[in-house]
Amino acid sequence: MIPLQNIMKIAPDQIDSDAAKVVQRLRRYDHTAYLVGGCVRDLLLGGKPKDFDVVTSATPQEIKRIFKNCRIIGRRFRLAHVFFGSKIVETSTFRANPREVEEDDGDAGAEPESADLMIRRDNVFGTPEEDARRRDFTINGLFYDIENDKVIDHVAGMADLEARLVRTIGDPDIRLREDPVRILRAIKFAARCDLSIESETHRRMMEHRQEITKCAPARVSEEFYRLLRAGAARRSMELLVGTELLDILVPELARALRGDDADSETNLRRTRLWAYLAALDRQVTRRPTAPSNALILAVLTLPPLRDILDPDSTAVRDVGPIVAQAIQPVMERVKASRRDAELTRQMLLALRYVLPSRRPNRRRPRLAGRDFLDDALRLAELVSDAETVDAMVAGRPIIDLGVAADASREAAGTIEASVERDAPPSAQSDDDLPPELESTLDRDRDRRRRNRGRGDNRRPDEPRHARPDDEAGQPPNARPPQYPTPPIAAASLAGGPAPVSISLTTLQAALPAPLMSDRPPFLGRGMFGGPWASAFD
């Protein structure tokens, strides 16, 4: 244990009051409890933690009995969430490394360990020291005792913090194979905290980077988003390129960011992407809320589309399919949800209407209340910031000369202002949402609802051409019953003149006999009649 040094001091007012309440209440019930992980690391580095985590000797069920505002989550790693309004204090139990426990329980003459060291369940409880040693990196293995005002260090994490190093706890060859997502986490901590990766840890990261394909895609995608939303997106992307991890995760982006091609267009797109990532970092420091997954995806896919989406570009028609096709490879690589992919597409297309334009008559559709509007405005702010810092990355409109001539005449007052050539006034007004901005998710949902409404009563295994008569023993190729052809239809088929109206008597004569019953008028003429129909029948 290393007492808190004056070099790295944690002031009591820096600790979240709700997290302190959780620790104090657990102690009142005779449980050991500390602050742990990233909050201790960030406080010692002089930063502001985004959340506070607690570790305790109480099991998840015991935590739930102590806190009524608690919910147990997780399967691979069960822990408790203690709720204070919208805030969550994540509370876990001291655990041991399950692989080490299995080795201790095994026979001395057991077979050599498998090449697959991945941990798929992590619910073996242990001591505070075992819990510290099972964690990923030394800088995350520190506990802070609020009551005694000291840091508890079982893994030499304080020394690595002072040396500003990211180092695995134990053998990096084993620890990175246990959970390959730790490779991405090492990059995240190095970028976010401005640290260096220890040499042996870095060497093993390069050696085992292909192991990340064995992890659940949802975990990899979420860690990828975390890399880019914490205010160190540019540095994170540089490390992803340097470790060649980006070639595994999103090879399309890796090719766009690596090398110095002679093609000026390729170099411009690369410069734009670095500029947008730097602008994203600046925006994160100014905004209280982190960027959404969709905004991050829009930043990554915008560079090759910037000129097409410029408000002053008039030579490109049907922009919607172009954008959808351009972003599809990245969406598939990062396993983006349908909602995130759709919001990304919509906010990219919305740039045509929210970025400043030189055309006084451009359309201004009503976007208020749309799900994508807030993110679209953030994206437009980010693009404007990047192009203000570096004018070389500014958009270059693709101009249709005919439209440009019309615009100049309008500006000179020679013709009246009108809507764009591709949106005639008779077809759309400024208040209408452009077709390309309509949500495809809404269209798919409406289509499914309509199809459900039109569904028939066939069994799932019944062929579409089957008839109810088949079940009654009639051969499938038997002709359906013939009903009398209405005179009006016969005249039409014979090429006679088409009548203007059809009488009720003619329609009644054409109906099948079972539908025409001699029932009193008060029972109605419908198939089911009124409340007296059964009595009449």
Among candidates 100, 82, 6, which has minimal Cα distance to 44? 6
Nearest Cα residue to 309 out of 347, 336, 340, 276: 347
HSE, CB side, 13 Å, CA atoms: give it for residue 402: 5
518 token code pair: 């001699």
Q: How far apart are CA 155 and CA 167, in angstroms?
A: 10
Alpha helices for 335-439 (secondary structure H): 338-354, 373-389, 401-411
Query: How many angstroms separate the Cα of 269 from the Cα of each of 11, 305, 323, 327, 384?
Result: 46, 9, 16, 15, 16
Contact 130, 94 (CB under 8 A): yes
* Cβ-proximal residues to 318 (8 Å cutoff; 6+ apart), any chain: none
- Indicate the Cα dihedral angle 201, 203, 206, 212, nearest 10°: -30
Distance, in Å, from the CA atom of 62 to the CA atom of 64, rounded to the nearest integer, reads: 5
Active site residue 173: no
Q: Which helix (H) or strand (E) holds 332?
A: helix 319-333
Strands 150-153 and 142-145: antiparallel
Type of residue numbered 31: H
Which residue in the list 51, 173, 385, 470 is annotated as catalytic?
51
Buried b (16+ CB within 10 A) or exposed e, 17-28: eebbebbeebee
d(C-alpha 212, C-alpha 182), whole Å: 9
Cα–Cα distance measured from residue 510 to residue 486, given in angstroms and rounded to the nearest whole number: 5
Q: 161, exposed or middle or buried, with CB in 10 Å at 0-12, 13-18, 19+? A: buried
Single out the residue of 233, 191, 207 nearest to residue 199, CA to CA. 207
State the catalytic residue, choosing from 42, 53, 160, 307.
53
Exactly one of 42, 122, 131, 136 is catalytic; name it. 136
CA distance 24 to 12: 14
Cα(229)–Cα(537) distance, integer angstroms: 73
- Known catalytic residue: 51? yes
53 annotated active-site: yes
How is 500-526 classified by DSSP, letter by letter? S---HHHHHHHS-GGG-----GGG-SS
Distance, C-alpha 95 to centroid of its chain: 31
Alpha-carbon distance of 446 to 398, in angstroms, equals 36
Distance CA(151)–CA(45), nearest Å, equals 13
The catalytic site residues sit at 51, 53, 136
